[in-house]
Every structure is written in structure tokens, then in C-alpha cells.
Amino acid sequence: MEIVFISKLKPFLDAVAEQMELYVPKKAGDYYVFRRYEVSDEAVEFNNIRTCTPVKEFLFPLREVAAVFPEPVEPEDIKPFAVFGLKDCDLRSIEILDKVFAEEEFKDPFYVKRRENMFIISSDCSNPGESCFCTVFDGRPFAGSGFDLNVSQVSGGFVIEVGSDKGKDFVEKHSQLFTEVPEALLSERDENRAQAQKQLEQNNADYEFDKPIREIVEGGQDSDVFDAEAKSCVECQACTRICPTCHCFYLYDTKQKDYFAKMKMWDSCMRMAYAEVAGGANPHKVLGDRIKHRLMHKFVYFLDRYGIDMCVGCGRCVDGCAGEADIRTVLRKLSEELKDKKEAKTAK
């Protein structure tokens, strides 16, 4: 794997922006969001933590045209684009979305096209947040794979690692930008990474479970925890909208001047009428049942279908919740109840 060094970010990002649209993290209040990069931008921020918005917005936009009829039109051509500042949790969320939209028998042509055209420049998390819990899901504050290029901040510059042929092509094409990495800076990068990982593990020491999370959630299906959670939930649906792995969508029809269109828009299983049929039947009428379904989908059903959890521990749902719910404490409560149940059984 090729590793190179740059002292400044700007010339590197300018070179990317010369080739394709580039999105970079910018501060909006307390959080980072992705904004279009302009070569005239003076400073570029290195985000030490993931953005607030999920990476799915690039691959599966909030709203898009899914079909035009009666005369079909070729979908809008997707041009190559790059995103800088994605974290390991973001890359893992892409892996999850790929399973649904790009690797199944039915592929989503819009997702596939965007995915092929996306140039991923990930970066290390040198300062993970209080809500971050990737380590609970075997994640790390730095990416091991799934990127084209990865950037790590070190003294006096940035270490850049190549992760794909696309990334390699870029580095070769712009060889004048890069220099060799001094050995000491590589060790510094590794120390930074270990430090961030340690910080995450300490922050989440209370959430080290002695059982697979699947067993905890499945075993807690009769628990009152979900109804208790419902009491502080205001049904804003932020947890699902902001989640990088949630991918429910809603199809609806519109009438334009001389054509009809089928639109595809993000939806949320937290919405009351989400599962309702025209006749009025609705298996998820009760809010607690919807909260339970959300967790069952993430930790049981998705695992059954695709072999991985539908959660990367990014903690966005924790930051976004108006009711101050924390998915980690829900899991902990379920885990404790399960232990109590088991102890009660042994006592008998």
C-alpha cells in the first residue's frame, strides 16, 4: 500500500476539485456538515470527528426522481464527485447500503451510478465525540479499507494512504504534490490512532456487553424498555433520518405539465402511518412497537439477511434525539434485564 505526505491540504484539495465536484466538511454551529468546495475557499477544515449529516445523502439523496412516464427519459447523468472527511463509520455505512442497493438481485440504478462515481477521501478521527461508540461495533477511529485515499493529520502535515486503484491513479497523476513520509510521522500517526481508540474505549466502558447485541435485543422483545423509551420520544424521526444506515424510502407520484413522475424520498419507520395499509391495519400503531422494530431491524433482521449489524456506532442518533434518548443505554438496559432474567432462572 502506497503512503505519501503533504504539508498542506489546500493544494491537494484544489487538485481534486479540478477533476470533479468536491465536498468538504464545514462547521455549522457545533457540528460539521458537507458543503461544496470552491477553489476560492481560503481555509479547509480537517474534521476531527464525523459530520453531523450522514454520507447516504450523496448516494441516496433525500429526494430524487425515480421514474418518468409515459415516455421514459434517461436519468440525469451522474458525474464523478469526491467527498473529503469521511470516517471509518461512514465507510462502514456505505458497506451496509451497498448490500441493500448494489449487491441484491434488484439493484437501485441511481445508487449504483452514484457509488461508481464517488471518490472517497476518508480521514482519521483524532478527537471522537462523547456520542461516538464505533468501538462497541468493532469499528475504529480510522479507516482500514473502503477508501480511495485516506488522510491522517500529523505534525507539519498529513499522511495520505492509497486505498484503491482510483486513488493510486490520482497520486501518480499528481506526483508533484506528494513527498515521501518520514518514518517518524508514520509512528506519530499510529500513536494518534491508538490514542483515539483508547479514548473511545474509555468513553464506552459502560457499554461492553458480554453477549452479542443480537442476543440482547432479540432476548428483550418482551421488555418494557421500548414503551418506556416511547415516553420521551417526540416522534421527530431524527434518529432515522440522520442515521447513515437507515434506508427506508417512500415512493410517491406527481403530475408535471407534460409528464408524470415517480419520486423517491427518505422515509422513517418511526412514522405512525409507515406500515399502515389502505384498509387501516397497522402492525406498528404503538410507538413502543416502532422503536422495537427499529432496533430489531438493526440488530436482528438485517443480520439475518446480510450477515452484518445495521449500526456502525456513529452516535448521530444520540446527538440528534430531541428526547435525549441514547441507543447505548437502551442496549444496556436490555442487557441487564437479560442477565436478571437468567439469574432468576438459575435461582429457581
Residues that bind other proteins (CB under 8 A): 66-67, 69-70, 72, 74-75, 100-101, 104, 106-109, 221, 247-255, 260, 262, 264, 267, 269, 274-279, 281-285, 289, 293, 296-297, 300-301, 304-305
* Residue 304 beta carbon to other proteins: minimum distance, rounded to whole angstroms: 4
| Size (the chain), residues | 348
Nearest CB to other proteins, comparing residues 259 and 339: 259
* Residue 326 beta carbon to other proteins: minimum distance, rounded to whole angstroms: 24
Nearest CB to other proteins, comparing residues 194 and 265: 265
Q: Rounded distance, CA 307 to CA 312, Å?
A: 14
* Residue 275 beta carbon to other proteins: minimum distance, rounded to whole angstroms: 5
Q: Rounded distance, CA 97 to CA 193, Å?
A: 26
For residue 136, count CB atoms less than 10 angstroms from its CB and return exposed for 0-12, middle for 13-18, buried for 19 or more.
Answer: buried
* Residue 158 beta carbon to other proteins: minimum distance, rounded to whole angstroms: 38
* Residue 260 beta carbon to other proteins: minimum distance, rounded to whole angstroms: 4
- Helix, strand, coil percentages, rounded to 5, for the chain: 40, 20, 40
Nearest CB to other proteins, comparing residues 17 and 270: 270
Residue 122 CB coordination number (10 Å): 26
Nearest CB to other proteins, comparing residues 189 and 264: 264
Strands 31-36 and 21-28: antiparallel
If DSSP states are collapsed to H, E and C, what string results for 149-193?
A: EEEEEECCEEEEEECCHHHHHHHHHCHHHCECCCHHHHHHHHHHH
> Left if phi > 0, otherwise alpha if psi is -120 to 50, otherwise beta: which for 300?
alpha
* End-to-end C-alpha distance for the chain, whole angstroms: 58
Instruction: For residue 85, give the H/E element and its range.
Output: strand 81-86
Nearest CB to other proteins, comparing residues 113 and 166: 113
Q: Rounded distance, CA 22 to CA 148, Å?
A: 14
Nearest CB to other proteins, comparing residues 206 and 304: 304
* Residue 297 beta carbon to other proteins: minimum distance, rounded to whole angstroms: 7
* Residues 86/123, Cβ–Cβ less than 8 Å: yes
Nearest CB to other proteins, comparing residues 61 and 182: 61
* Residue 36 beta carbon to other proteins: minimum distance, rounded to whole angstroms: 28
* Residue 306 beta carbon to other proteins: minimum distance, rounded to whole angstroms: 10
Q: Rounded distance, CA 338 to CA 344, Å?
A: 10
Collapse the DSSP code of 67 into the 3-class scheme (helix H, G, I; strand E, B; otherwise coil) and give the result.
strand
State the greatest distance between any 2 C-alpha atoms of the chain, in Å, as a whole number.
73
* Residue 291 beta carbon to other proteins: minimum distance, rounded to whole angstroms: 13
Nearest CB to other proteins, comparing residues 33 and 66: 66
Instruction: List b or e across 17-41, with b for residues whose CB sees 16 or more CB atoms inside 10 angstroms.
Output: beeeebbbbbeeeebbebeebeeeb
